[in-house]
A and B are shown apart, each in its own frame.
Chain A
Amino acid sequence: MAFEPFKTLVSRTVVLAQDNIDTDQIIPARFLTTTSRDGLGQSVFYDWRFDEAGRPKRPSLFNDYNPDTHKILVAGSNFGCGSSREHAPWALYGFGFRAVISSDIADIFKSNALKNGLLPVEVDQTAHAQLLTTPDAEIAVDLEKLTVTLGEADIAHFEVEAFARQCLLNGVDPLGYLLKQTREIAAYEAKTA
């Protein structure tokens, strides 16, 4: 799986000030009958973006923002809760997002996002509140320095699991690393057989 290496992202934010945005909101289950990763971006937040007849809703956060200029999603706490569907980060990435910022991001979503070039950023309550109340802000998310910058000020420091960070910085999936452990894996199998 190829994705763009992630170093520093400077972009504008789209703010969804709602807690517990679950994976069924991000990509409804009826779009999961696909055998590919491609094309899911069109269906991201589908029921929020389109009406019963499939017409784009206006005004709408997503339909009125340009994904080329707004690559950062700021959301309420417990973002990405629910299912293990990797279709959720695929859809967000496919739409154009490269980072999601919240005070608290669900475990499986976080793990999936990190493997697909979508940076999950967990910030403290103060920075979270500031970002939630400043929609359309231009911010910088720096994966090397692990900072979020608004204007001239570093407003938050964040943590990313060290290994996943290296993978993201280099734009590689961790499978290569696991494949290099073949000897250890075989030894484990021999020991426990």
Chain B
Amino acid sequence: MSMPKSLFDKLWERHVVVGETPDAPAVLYIDLHLVHEVTSPQAFAVLDGRGLKVRRPDNTFATLDHSTPTLPANAKGELPFSTPGARRQVETLIANCEKHGIELLGLGDPRRGIVHVIGPELGLTQPGKTVVCGDSHTSTHGAFGALAFGIGTTEVGHVLATQCVLQRKPKSMRVIFDGALSPGVGAKDMALAMIAEIGADGGQGYAIEFAGETVRALSMEGRMTLCNMSIEAGARFGMIAPDETTFDWVKGRDFAPSGEAWAAALAKWRGLATEERAEFAKEVRIDASTIRPMITYGVSPDAAAPVCANAPAPRTAAEKHAADYMKLDAGRPFTEQEVNRVFIGSCTNSRLSDLREAAAVMRGRHVDEGVVALVVPGSEAVKRAAEAEGLDAVFVAAGAEWREPGCSMCIAMNGDAGAPGELVVSTSNRNFIGRQGKGVRTVLASPATAAASAIAGRIADPRPFLCDMKEDA
């Protein structure tokens, strides 16, 4: 009898071109290579330097998201790039895509957006595929039962030239969530609770499969949020077995198989799930019914706690270092800490359901006068859909800014940033020192918590806001 296999085992073995040996890693075939402007120029330069071509331009798609402005073009049609370097980076990708015959979902393209939002949206991301991108949040695509992982620029060059990467098979880990989520608690809170539990390096060297009834009950958007933050637990790979929720989501999208090909794909995808008694090197169980809305209070994503708690007093040197930077009043409730800015967006939380969640809190209310709130949709398609149902009007009426799609304040390299000392409640994924601007203090949270904090002018528990909405209805 053969060993029961996990989703990860199956994805891995279906893509091995040359097996791993003690002397060399496996040569792993890549089905989908997503490219953006920040981590690709030096890879194209290596190709050009060696006179190499892109092996599979048909399996390579590029977009512009990190360095692009989120403010619209001026009357002359010129975009307000933050620096000449940002503009040059964008122009370089446009030129590289033209030269190598790569489809660019660029500026002005109705399909443009954050690379991890548009891959799934277009149906490029599919169960069973290997997906790479020069970006550590590529694990997002694992939500579809894909083997998706972030790579460095040298590896971007490898994939461009050979459609393969060299990779040793990591160990496997399963994180099982059981129980129903409480109202006002979502996938972002699950991710932060998980990272707090296992630590920022708890997944290092592992490929994580998220499983359990709570995960099965999540929408695709929620699953993407959860897989997105695998890297914040140190894991390059995060994945969820595909099921009817996945198939319903993929069906009918631009690049999804159709007709007979759909039936054939479906038959293949149904066989991907982890078999019973498949073994994992590490297993973690989390009771999801006890998770409350979560925020981070330190400078590493594992410094996370329920929003209704008090700011803890630092115990170690590292915690003291973080506390000195964050300047939250130890022993006082988080909900008394003043907020200067709120960012709703990023590859973690910029999809339509995220914007609906934020709008449900903001509808009929107003952002506190001391707060600047930015809402940045993940893609042109998300922006159109949100506008079609009037979410933009909700945000604008509440006093928030409604921007053009892009990574924006998550990485703060396009000019969107906080000012030194500001406290930012952000739906993004990293609270590192200076991540959202020099001296900026980042508190990570769900869209509902971020929106509630914008209204309150302090870090806020979103649940009372959501209860009000129910009573109004």
Contact = CB atoms under 8 A, between A and B. Distances in A.
Do A and B make up one complex?
yes
A24 B430 contact: yes
A53 interface: no
A78 B201 contact: yes
Interface stretch (B148-156, B373-381, B454-462): B148-156
B23 A163 contact: yes
Interface stretch (B83-91, B108-116, B363-371, B391-399): B83-91
B22 interface: yes
B67 interface: yes
Interface stretch (A57-65, A138-146, A175-183): A175-183
Contacts of A182: 162
Nearest to B92: A35
Interface in B26-60: 27, 29, 38-39, 41-42, 45-46, 50, 52, 55
Interface string B195-215: 000001100110000000000
Given A84-B135, A162-B23, A179-B161, A33 B413 contact: yes
Contact of B200 (A20, A24, A85): A20
A112 B432 CA distance: 20
B300 interface: yes
B20 to A, nearest CB: 10
Interface stretch (B255-263, B281-289, B433-441, B465-473): B433-441
A1 interface: yes
A21 B168 CA distance: 25
Nearest to A104: B201
Contact of B166 (A86, A104, A106, A163): A163
Interface string B144-179: 000000111111011001111010101000000000
A77 interface: yes
A182 B116 CA distance: 29
Contact of A77 (B135, B162, B201): B201
Interface residues of A, number: 51
A111 interface: yes
A162 B86 CA distance: 38
A22 to B, nearest CB: 5
A67 B467 CA distance: 59
A147 interface: no
B25 interface: yes
B234 interface: yes
Contact of A25 (B50, B52, B153, B433): B433
A32 interface: yes
B13 to A, nearest CB: 12
Contacts of A37: 42
Contacts of A106: 201, 204, 234
Contact of B152 (A19, A108, A166, A179): A108
Given A20-B200, A25-B433, A175-B46, A108 B162 contact: no
B258 to A, nearest CB: 18
A3 to B, nearest CB: 11
B313 interface: no
Contacts of B23: 162-163, 166
Interface of B: 17-18, 22-25, 27, 29, 38-39, 41-42, 45-46, 50, 52, 55, 66-67, 83, 85-86, 88-89, 92, 134-136, 150-155, 157-158, 161-164, 166, 168, 170, 200-201, 204-205, 231, 234, 236, 299-300, 318, 321, 411-413, 430, 432-435, 438
Interface of A: 1, 18-20, 22, 24-25, 28-30, 32-37, 47, 76-78, 81-86, 104, 106-108, 111-112, 115-116, 161-163, 166, 173-175, 177-179, 181-182, 184-185, 188-189, 192
30 contacts: A18-B321, A24-B432, A28-B434, A32-B413, A33-B85, A35-B41, A35-B45, A78-B204, A81-B201, A81-B234, A84-B134, A84-B136, A85-B152, A86-B154, A104-B204, A106-B204, A108-B152, A108-B231, A115-B155, A162-B22, A162-B24, A166-B23, A174-B166, A177-B24, A178-B166, A182-B162, A184-B17, A185-B27, A185-B29, A189-B29
The 3 closest A-B pairs by CB, nearest first: A33-B85, A35-B41, A112-B152
